[in-house]
Amino acid sequence: MTKFEVLILGNASAAPTPNRHHTSQLININEQYFLVDCGEGTQIRLREHKIKLQRIHHIFISHLHGDHYLGIIGLLQTMHLLGRVAELNLYCSDNIKEIIDVHLKYNRGSLRYPIHYVEMGSKETELFFEDDKIEISTIPLKHKIPCTGFLFKEKEKPRRINSKAILHHEVPKFKINQLKQGEDFIKETGEIVQNNVLTLPNLPSFSYAYCSDTAYHEKIIPIIKKVSLLYHEATFVEEHSDRASKTLHSTAKQAALIAKKSEVKHLIIGHFSNRYSDFGELLSEAKSVFENTQIAEQNETFKVSNP
C-alpha cells in the first residue's frame, strides 16, 4: 500500500503571526520526504512534528518571495550543526544559490555537506525529478516574479498477483516480476497463459499538485487535470478581488474554479491574508463552487488518495 501524505507546516501569506506560520509543506511518499517551500520558522515546525531533518534530501522553493524561503538559511545551518554529510538537492525557479552563497560569504562559514542546485524554468512544464516510483514536474504559475508549482505523480503501479491462479498453473517464483509487468506465462509445453488470468488489475496511482502564489491561471488546467489532491492558494475572498488582481494572487472562488475545471478529486486552500481572522468565509466561498474543499489547516496531514 502506498503512503502518500501532505503535512501542512504553515498556511499564512506575507507576515507570520504567533499562531499562523509561513508557507511550508512536507510530502511523505513511502517515507521519502520532500520539503515544499521553507518559510520562516519551518525548521521549528519540523521539530515539533519530530521530523528528522537529515531524512530530507529534496527541498523545493516555489519562488523567492520571503514568506516562501526565508527559513532556508536556518534549516541549512542546523543540518550542518547536526553533522549532515549527505548531499541535499535544492530546486528553485530562480537563483537561490546566490542568496545562500552571499550568506556563507559574509558569515565566513561553510557547510560540511554538498548542495546540488537545480534551477527550473517557470514558463513551461518540465519533468525534473524521477525515480522508480514517482515523477515530479513543474507547474508554471502567474505571479510577480518567476514562480512554479510542483506536480507529484506516482508511476503506474505493477499488476497484482493472483495467488490461487499462479499455484494452479505452477508458475515459478522467478517469473513473478515479469507477470507484474504484464507479461504472459509460457509453460514448458508451449501453452500460453494470459497475464490477466494470473494477475489482478493494478491499484490506482495518486497525484498531488501544489500551486503556490498565482493569479487565476487557466493554463495550468491541462497539467493538473484529475489530480487526486490539489493545493491552491486562496489569499483573498471575492470581496477583495481587486487586491488579488493587483498582487497576482487568487481568491477562494478562483481556486475552486480551477479545481472544478481541472476535475480534481479534492481541493485544499491556503496562503491566507492576515486580514482574515477566521477562515469560514474563505471556505464557504470555495465550497459554493467546488464542494470537496478543505482548509489547509496548520499541523494537519492530508492523505493523497482518490475518494
Amino acid at 259: A
Looking at the chain, the whole-number percentage of residues with pLDDT higher than 70 is 99
Q: Would you say 140 and 123 are in contact if contact means Cβ atoms under 8 Å apart?
A: yes
Reduce the DSSP state of residue 171 to 3 states and report it.
coil
pLDDT digits (tens, 9 = 90+) for 178-228: 878 888 878 888 888 788 877 788 888 899 999 999 999 999 999 999 999
Give the pairing of strands 267-270 and 229-233. Answer: parallel
Give the pairing of strands 192-193 and 185-186. Answer: antiparallel
Catalytic residue among 67, 132, 184, 213: 67
Domain ranges of the chain: 4-157+203-303, 160-197
pLDDT of residue 300: 97
Percent helix, percent strand, percent coil in the chain, to nearest 5: 30, 30, 45
- CA 82, distance to chain mean position in Å, is 26
pLDDT digits (tens, 9 = 90+) for 244-273: 999 999 999 999 999 999 999 999 999 999
Q: What is the DSSP string of 237-300?
A: -GGGHHHHHHHT--BHHHHHHHHHHHT-S-EEEE-B-TT-S-SHHHHHHHHTT-SSEEE--TT-
Reduce the DSSP state of residue 142 to 3 states and report it.
coil
Report the distance separating Cα 278 and Cα 256, nearest Å: 18
Q: Is the pLDDT of residue 88 over 90?
A: yes
pLDDT of residue 39: 96
Residue 55: CB atoms within 10 A of its CB come to: 11
pLDDT digits (tens, 9 = 90+) for 21-80: 999 999 999 999 999 999 999 999 999 999 999 999 999 999 999 999 999 999 999 999
Query: Which is nearest to 138 in space by CA: 90, 91, 205?
Result: 91
Residue 142 cell numbers, joined: 502567474
Q: Write the DSSP symbol of residue 159.
A: P
Q: Write the DSSP symbol of residue 113.
A: S
**Angle between helices 280-287 and 252-262 in degrees, nearest 10:** 30
Report the distance separating Cα 88 and Cα 257, nearest Å: 37
Residue 88: CB atoms within 10 A of its CB come to: 20
Catalytic status, residue 131: no
- Domain 4-157+203-303 fold: Metallo-beta-lactamase; Chain A (3.60.15)
